[in-house]
Amino acid sequence: MPDPLSDSAAATWLSAAATDTRVYLVERTTGWASWFDPANRRWGPTRRLGPDPAVTTWAVAPGRVVGAEERLVLFGAKRADKEAECTVVVQAWEVDGDTLEQAPSASGDAMPAELSERLFPRDDTDYDDGEEELEDRALSIGVCGNAAGGYVYNAAEPANGAVLYELWEEGKAKGSATAVARWDWVPCAPAVQAQPLARAILACSPVGLDELALAVGARSPR
């Protein structure tokens, strides 16, 4: 494992995204990233991703395939300005899967303020705390997704809910340079809200819950 990642070799500190051929890793707090090719047992380039130096927490998910080029979606969160509508700004960038450089034709996508405010709600103490104290509070975002889209959530408070994002399909961006076609709110499961857990794991799958129910119902009794 590359040196910038070796000291953080745990799920707590690394965000991972897997495609058919590679596993991509990003250090959540520093933005250092690399990829591993299991078939050829080799690591790719190691690069510090930093499209916005104010970002304090990072997460990564598989992105679109544009032509023969595999891309990633890099998410970052930072504290918003005092006058902003939300306390935290969440942004997304497309990254070239080979070089780990920001895709030249893609600009950053900002999550709508009303959605980021629901992920990171403002509480009463925010008005009492000074700006420096707010800056000291660590942010943590998580993401699970695939080439079509996925979900962004507050990793420290998954019971808050999640934000759905959908990516533009190749050839259907209608002149847009951004990767995200739609953002939407997804409430948390009532069971998680009713009984808070020490740790929650979110996953994304092309198989729907209705399909799983049909598969379970089709099983013959033993």
Residue with more model confidence, 64 or 208: 64
Residue 42 phi/psi, 5-degree rounding, is -145, 150
Query: Burial, 118: exposed, middle or buried (Cβ in 10 Å; 0-12, 13-18, 19+)?
Result: middle
Confidence of residue 13 (pLDDT cuts 50, 70, 90): confident
8-state DSSP, 51: S
Note down the domain range covering 115. Answer: 3-218
Report the mean per-residue pLDDT for the chain. 80
Distance from C-alpha of 32 to C-alpha of 174, rounded to nearest angstrom: 33
Tokens of 55: 């970002």
CA 24 to chain centroid: 13
Tell me how many domains the chain contains: 1
pTM attached to this predicted model:
0.79
Partner residues linked to 102 by β-bridges? 95
Going by C-alpha positions, the residue among 168, 54, 164, 166 that lies closest to residue 118 is 164
- Residue indicated by tokens 């051929």: 21
Better pLDDT: 108 or 156:
156
Q: Which of 1-15, 53-67, 94-108, 122-136 has the highest mean pLDDT?
A: 53-67
Q: What percent of the chain is modeled with pLDDT above 70?
A: 70
Which among 88, 93, 121, 98 is positioned nearest to 108, based on CA atoms? 93
Residue 163's pLDDT band, with cuts at 50, 70 and 90, is very high
